[in-house]
Every structure is written in structure tokens, then in C-alpha cells.
Amino acid sequence: MTALTYTILTDPTSLEASVDGRSPSTGTMYLMVTNTRRTVPWLRIEVKVPVGDGAGHLTRDISTIKPRGEYTDTQSNPQADTQPVIVQPQGANVFQVTSQSGRIEGFAPGDYMVLTLENVTVAPTAGVAVLMVTEIIKTNKGWQTSQAAVPVVKAAPKEIPAPRDFRPDKAMLDAGEDLALSWDGSDDFSYEIRFPGGRADIAQGTHTWSPAEAPKRATTYILVATDPTTQKQHFLTTTVQVRYPVLETLTATTGIDTPWVQGTANKGRVTFTGTGVEIFNNSGGLGTVTADKADLNGVNTEWVQGRSTDDGKITFPQDGLDVRQGSGAWGTVHADKADLNGVNTEWVQGRSTDDGKITFPQDGLDVRQGSGAWGTVHADTADLNGVNTEWVQGRSTDDGKITFPQDGLDVRQGSGAWGTVHADTADLNGVNTEWVQGRSTDDGKITFPQDGLDVRQGSGAWGTVHADTADLNGVNTEWVQGRSTDDGWISFPKEGLNVRKGAGQAWGTVFADKADVNSVITNEIHGSGEGKGYIQFLDQDKGVRIFGGVSAGWIRGLSDDDAWIRFNEKGIWVLKNQNGKRESANVSCATVNDRPA
């Protein structure tokens, strides 16, 4: 039986056995030595620590333990006096305690000594570890050695407490701000953070992490804590909001309510008003919509231009629209077809400056070559009430030629020599006659009044000239019509010409490849349907060729008093000046091809 009393206290109060793969379980042991009887002369005290991995062992290695000791004298002075004692390891498993002098000291009743063993790494197996205490004291009979067994309980290891409080340092991120995530939890876990499109492993002992790039939109991060022994996992989530999110795609099934949408690097903005949307640029001025296509019911704009400042530009004055080049000069409308009720233009020409050209003087129209010389009308058929021309010739300068002097007509060869009239029975140098008629009195008849010649039916009514080609310098006629009474026809009132549909006075249509307000440059002017006539512009010296006929509501030259077209949301206004006042007529069309009543 020992003379002194030995009691063990631990911090934490319950030491847990260590677990391989986790941080070692450590603690502090306090061996309390007290005396409840008479003074005990003590020389030294030895504490033997069981070392190993078993249930009865306290630790695997006492070299990690930091020992210290203090003796407190509660009797000699009014206040307790605490002095250190010497604690030294002896061998692989013993700590030896002696006084500061190394000699025998009296251990008075009421005094106490505390032997502290810090940083005890608890052995991995749960159980009871017994420390053997040996005291060596001096008695009347000599030296006395006694031993006492002091037990310590090693509790089975508990599950690692789950991590908690996974949080961002900012609940709402602004542009350019960094993000830091942190959490509370045991270092025994292995941690990773998962996020959309990636994951990040966290270094051991670290409880904070920042993404390499701050999120551009609301992002949820997942903290995964894994127990390395049991592989049990814990999951914590936190979501970071972004004040101005950047989205790669956005799918909204029921709609998005927002007063405006703005870019990121470029601050163009779309604002939603009560009447639609407004587009603004970086500086807050009206911006530009760039798109592959725009499918609209209407566009209100000051101008429309190609993507470059050199591109053509359309402006919309009150009297219609202007088409100009990027330089500001009048431009050209290029189109496959132009289906119009009328064209007011100074001239019409083929696509090249060498091509034939039609101008519109007050008394009709002139057909000229690109050089300005009189041109040639090429057509499959000319069906006329009359032709006024200086001469008629074949397509080649070597072909025969008919001229019309005051006293009749001359037929000559291309060289200028007298030519030959080929007929069934007449081979003449000249014919002077009052009339020419077919073999029957019902046949057509040509008479020769002083002002030219008249072609009439046998009945006396005006007749029709049928020919394969009419190549003329000019044609004077009341009207021009296709071969059928259902075909379109052109009449020539004093103010110009009218293009009408077949039977009746309904306005007809001029079908052409191009219509330009100041001019029309085109290879052909063509009908809009199969089998319709068209005008073709040939080489510089050949003028134009007409196939079929020409249909048009009207064609007029350009002046300040001429009519103009204005576009609005209801259709087309045709405006004109009359009696010094501006008058308008509204023409409504479902499509361009529908003619107004």
C-alpha cells in the first residue's frame, strides 16, 4: 500500500482511441498526488506508461508526451506556494519525478503534486490502460518501495462530427468582385467542392476556398466531406447570387419580365416601352439592330443603309422615298422584278452605259443607243394602227431599206441602190398607186393619203399591220395591243401613255426587272407571268427588242409638280399637286401584286 494517494484526470474527460486514417486522438493526463495522513519523506516517484497498440496500452510512443510537474505547499505560508518538480523519462515507458534538490523532501498532509502529461497520442484500441506508480519513501525501517495501479479509460472512437456552416463571404456578387467560401469541420475529412462544370480538391487542414474565376451567374457550390475510414460522405450546399448575371443561354417557358436588357462589355441596351422596344448604344443614344433577317409588319425609320457607310442608302422624305449611293448621289434599285402601277422616270437604260436607252420627252418616248444616236426597237411583233418613221430597214446595214419621201416610199438595197419589192407577181422599181389590197374585196387595203398611208379592213374599218419585225425610228399610233382583244394595250393621251388590261379601261401592269425613280437600268423589262412580253436591251448599237407588248399604268418624267408615292402603315399614298394644293389618294393593297380599285 502506498503512503500517498494517486488519482488520474484527463482532458478531454473521455479519451478516445485513435483511428488509423484520421488525425491522431490526443489528450492531456493529470496524475494528482495527495497526502491525507502524516508527512511522508519521499525521494522519487516513477510512473510506468503502458506502450503499444492494444486495449491495455495508453500510447504507441511516449516520446511525443510533454511531461511536467508542480508541487504545491499549502501549509508553510498563508498563501499556497507552488514549485516545479523534475520529471524525466526513463527508458521507453517510465517517467521519473524528483524534487528540485534531488534529495528527500517531506510531503506534508494537505499538500499536493500534479504530474502533467501533455500531447498523449492515445493508442488505437479502446479499453482500460493501467499506469503503474512506484513511490520510494524513507521510513523508520529504511527505504520503502510501494506501488499503485491507476486506470485510464480509452473510449471507442466516435464518428467524426459532420461539417457545418458552408458559406460565401458575399451573398451577392458585383462585377469584378472575388468570392471566398469557408466552412467549419474536422481536419480528418477529405474535402472537395463541386460546381457546374468542375470540381476542386481541398488541401488537408484548409477550410476556405476561392474559385479561379468568380461566377458570372447564380451558382450553387457543393461541399463534399468524406470520412477516409468509413468513406461516409456529408454534403453541404451554398448558392451565390450575381447582381448582373451573364447567361450563355436562357430558356423561359412562361416569359421574362424585365424593364431592360443590357450587354456586358458592350453596354448596348434594349428597353421595353408601352409601344414596343427601344435600342440604345453605349452612350445612351439610339442604337443599331444587327440581324440576319427582320420579319416585320412595318418599319418607321429615317433611313435604311447597308452595313458600310459606302453602301446604298434609302431615305424617306414626305413625298416618298429616295435611293442614293453612299456618297449621296442618286442610287440604283436592283431587283429581279418591279411590279408597279406606274413609273415616273427621266430615262430607262440597260445595265451598261453602252446599252440602249429610252427617254420620255413630252411628245412620247425616244429610243437611242448608248452613244446618244437613234436606237432600234427590236421586237417579235409590232401590231399598230399606224407607223410614222423616216425609214424601215432589215436588221443589218446590208439589208433592204424603205424610205418615205413626200411622194410615196422608196425601196432600196442596203448600199442605197434601188431595191426590190418581192411579191407574188410584182417586181418593180417603183409603185405609184392610190391603194393596195388583197385579192378579195374582203381583204385588207392600203391607201395612200397625203400624210402617209392608211391600213384598213375590207369593210373600211381600220386594219392591222401584221409583221414579224418592226425596226423603226418612231411609231405614231392611237394604241398598241397584243394579238388578242384580251391582251394588254397602250394608248397615248396628250399627257403621255396609258397601259390598260385587255377589254376595258382597267389599269394594266408594266413588268420589268428594275424601276429607278430617276432612271431604270436593266437588261430586260419582263412580264410577271409565264409567256408574257418583255423588253430586252441589246448591245450599244442595237437598241432594244420588245417581245410581246408593254403594260404600264403610267410613265412620266420627274419634276417638282409630279406625283410621288408615300408609304404608311395602311398601304400607299399617291400624292400630287393640283391647282397649287397638295392632294392625296390612299391606295390599299394586301400585297404588291393586288391592284386597287
Q: Is the pLDDT of residue 570 over 80?
A: no
Least trusted range by pLDDT, from 152-166, 333-347, 464-478, 580-594: 580-594
- Strand-pair partners of 576: 583
Q: Are residues 101 and 200 in the same domain?
A: no
CATH number where 231 lies = 2.60.40.10
Least trusted range by pLDDT, from 15-19, 356-360, 547-551: 547-551
**What's at 418, amino acid-wise?**
W
What is the residue whose three cell numbers read 492515445? 122
State the sign of the Cα–Cα–Cα–Cα dihedral 317, 320, 325, 326.
positive
Q: Are residues 63 and 116 in the same domain?
A: yes
- In total, how many domains does the chain have? 2
Q: Are residues 68 and 177 in the same domain?
A: no
For position 585, what pLDDT does the model report? Answer: 56
Q: Is the pLDDT of residue 377 over 90?
A: no
Residue 375 belongs to a domain: no
Q: Are residues 128 and 235 in the same domain?
A: no
Question: How far is residue 378's CA from residue 542's CA, in Å, rounded to a whole number?
Answer: 8
Q: Are residues 48 and 130 in the same domain?
A: yes
Band of residue 296 on the pLDDT scale cut at 50, 70, 90: confident
State the sign of the Cα–Cα–Cα–Cα dihedral 346, 352, 358, 361.
positive
Q: Are residues 128 and 170 in the same domain?
A: no
Instruction: Using alpha carbons, select from 181, 296, 191 the residue that is nearest to residue 239.
Output: 181
Band of residue 198 on the pLDDT scale cut at 50, 70, 90: very high
Residue that finishes a domain, picked among 155, 188, 221: 155
pTM of the model: 0.38
What is the residue whose three cell numbers read 442595237? 542
Instruction: Using alpha carbons, select from 154, 192, 141, 150 the residue that is nearest to residue 54.
Output: 154
Q: Are residues 62 and 177 in the same domain?
A: no
Query: In the β-sheet with 322-324, what is the strand arrangement from edge to edge?
Result: 303-305, 313-315, 322-324
For position 2, what pLDDT does the model report? Answer: 94
Q: Cell numbers of 25, please?
A: 486522438
Band of residue 233 on the pLDDT scale cut at 50, 70, 90: very high
Q: Are residues 78 and 202 in the same domain?
A: no
More confident residue, 334 or 73: 73
Q: Are residues 48 and 69 in the same domain?
A: yes
Band of residue 550 on the pLDDT scale cut at 50, 70, 90: very low
Q: What mean pLDDT is predicted for residues 186-215?
A: 92
Question: How far is residue 356's CA from residue 419's CA, in Å, rounded to a whole number?
Answer: 29
Residue that finishes a domain, picked among 196, 221, 242: 242
Q: Are 135 and 149 in contact (CB under 8 A)?
A: no
Q: What mean pLDDT is predicted for residues 131-158?
A: 94
Residue 62 belongs to a domain: yes
Residue 463 belongs to a domain: no
Residue 573 belongs to a domain: no
Band of residue 176 on the pLDDT scale cut at 50, 70, 90: confident
For position 108, what pLDDT does the model report? Answer: 94
Q: Are residues 127 and 201 in the same domain?
A: no
Instruction: Using alpha carbons, select from 433, 459, 432, 429 the residue that is nearest to residue 444.
Output: 459
Question: How far is residue 454's CA from residue 92's CA, in Å, rounded to a whole number?
Answer: 146
For position 540, what pLDDT does the model report? Answer: 72
Residue 26 belongs to a domain: yes
CA max distance for the chain: 185
Q: Are residues 141 and 194 in the same domain?
A: no
Instruction: Using alpha carbons, select from 597, 507, 519, 522 the residue that is nearest to residue 554.
Output: 507
For position 486, what pLDDT does the model report? Answer: 87
Q: Are residues 33 and 128 in the same domain?
A: yes
Q: What mean pLDDT is predicted for residues 249-264?
A: 80
Q: What mean pLDDT is predicted for residues 273-283?
A: 87
Band of residue 554 on the pLDDT scale cut at 50, 70, 90: very low
Least trusted range by pLDDT, from 219-228, 312-321, 372-381, 469-478: 469-478
Q: Are 576 and 586 in contact (CB under 8 A)?
A: no
Q: Are 57 and 151 in contact (CB under 8 A)?
A: no
Domain of 23 in residue numbering reads as: 5-155
Q: Is the pLDDT of residue 529 over 70?
A: no
Out of 89-93, 230-234, 259-263, the most confident range is: 89-93
Residue that finishes a domain, picked among 155, 190, 216: 155
Q: Are 351 and 335 in contact (CB under 8 A)?
A: no
Q: Is the pLDDT of residue 297 over 80?
A: yes
Least trusted range by pLDDT, from 149-153, 288-292, 310-314: 288-292
Pairing status of strand 571-578 against strand 581-587 = antiparallel
CATH number where 146 lies = 2.60.40.1510
Q: What mean pLDDT is predicted for residues 404-424?
A: 88
Give SS3 for 82: strand
More confident residue, 581 or 556: 581
For position 342, what pLDDT does the model report? Answer: 81
Residue 339, CB-side half-sphere exposure with 13 Å CA sphere: 9
pLDDT tens digits for range 37-51: 899 999 999 999 999
Q: What mean pLDDT is predicted for residues 282-301?
A: 84
Q: What mean pLDDT is predicted for residues 335-360?
A: 87
Q: What mean pLDDT is predicted for residues 434-445?
A: 92
Q: What mean pLDDT is predicted for residues 280-302?
A: 84
For position 181, what pLDDT does the model report? Answer: 94
For position 291, what pLDDT does the model report? Answer: 85
CB neighbourhood size of 251 (10 A): 5
Band of residue 231 on the pLDDT scale cut at 50, 70, 90: confident
Q: Is the pLDDT of residue 557 over 60?
A: no
Band of residue 408 on the pLDDT scale cut at 50, 70, 90: confident
For position 120, what pLDDT does the model report? Answer: 96
Percentage of the chain surpassing pLDDT 90?
44
Question: How far is residue 471's CA from residue 379's CA, in Å, rounded to a whole number?
Answer: 8
pLDDT, averaged across the chain: 86
